[in-house]
Amino acid sequence: MEGQLRTLANMQALDDEIGRYRVLQRELPKQLNDIIDSVDQATANLLICETARAEIGKKQRGLEADIKQHQEQSRKYATQLSEIKNNKEYKALNSEISYLKTKISEIESQLLELMDEDTAAKEQVDNAKKELEKAEQCKRDKEGDLRMQIEGLEAKIEEIRAERNDLARTLPVSVVKQYGNMIKNKNNQAVAYNREGSCGSCGFVIRQQMRIELQLMRKLIFCENCGRILMNRFAEEPTESKEA
Ligand SMILES: [Zn+2]
């Protein structure tokens, strides 16, 4: 019976390992998605920043064209001015010219503001580029490795499962059935160890009589609360012992 118990303990150790790989099977694809997501987000963000900067550039060019037009107009008026003899027309044209000058200086101060906006926008674009580079670097560094790990997990689990099944073949079918049901239905845990007089899994106190039986190792003992196979932890680490 001690051999059976050791085998069950070894099987549980393998199922624990499978459990850890199952967690990775859930976690690693999430990590991979996060990495890909951050590249997508950084790309989208860079596009937003570049679009915003392009808008500013467009406004600047529009205003510069306005200035040019006003200047040309102003020069045209100035030429006309020298040809005018009529005082009233002279005044009217002169006030047109001074209106254009005011307009130009207004636009120039708008342009100065836009230059500040452009500086800020350029900084945002630069930052967004850096973020994207960082995200892409992270993807380059980790994606391949993660994909390989994810692809390898199922094979790894199969390998351990085969090892566990080899152990199971050395046990009576009824015991294997009980064990398998608990692995399936009791959170991947069929074996619970005596932890200072309580079930190591559910914490239920083990009666004195059962504690003695645990030491004797003459039959399988089940936790009266959770139903798991109870045993004392073996002094040494569970070995690959396959004797029944
Ligand atoms: Zn229990």
**CATH code assigned at 86:** 1.10.287.1490
In-domain check, residue 111: yes
Compute, in angstroms, the gap from residue 15 CA to the centroid of ligand 1: 18
Verdict on whether the full-model pTM lies above 0.75: no
Query: What separation in Å is there between the alpha carbon of 188 and the centre of ligand 1?
Result: 13
What's the CA-to-centroid distance between 178 and ligand 1, angstroms? Answer: 15
Identify which has the larger pLDDT, 138 or 235: 138
Express each pLDDT in 183-223 by its tens digit.
Answer: 999 999 999 999 999 999 999 999 999 999 999 999 999 99
Residue 112 lies in domain: 26-154
Report the separation in Å between the CA atom of 25 and the middle of ligand 1, taken as the mean of its atom positions: 28
If you measure from the C-alpha of residue 56 to the centroid of ligand 1, how many angstroms do you get, rounded to a whole number?
69
Is 12 among the domain residues? no
User: What is the distance between the alpha carbons of residues 152 and 149, in angstroms, rounded to a whole number?
Assistant: 5
Q: What pLDDT is attached to residue 189?
A: 97
Is residue 41 domain-resident?
yes
Q: What is the pLDDT of residue 31?
A: 96
Query: Distance from the CA of 27 to the center of ligand 1, in angstroms?
Result: 28
209 falls within a domain: no
Q: What is the pLDDT of residue 239?
A: 52
pLDDT tens profile 106-160: 999 999 999 999 999 999 999 999 999 999 999 999 999 999 999 999 999 999 9
Rounded distance from Cα 203 to ligand 1 centre (Å): 6
* 36 within some domain: yes
| pLDDT for 243 | 43
The total number of structural domains that make up the chain? 1
The CA 222 to ligand 1 mean position distance, Å, reads 8
How remote is the CA of residue 197 from the centroid of ligand 1, in Å? Answer: 11
Any domain includes 6:
no
122 in any annotated domain:
yes
CA of 223 to the centre of ligand 1 (A): 5
pLDDT at 185: 96
CA of 193 to the centre of ligand 1 (A): 9
How far, in Å, is the centroid of ligand 1 from the Cα of 233? Answer: 15
Q: Is residue 231 part of a domain?
A: no
242 pLDDT band, cuts 50/70/90, is very low
Label residue 237 by pLDDT band (50, 70, 90). low
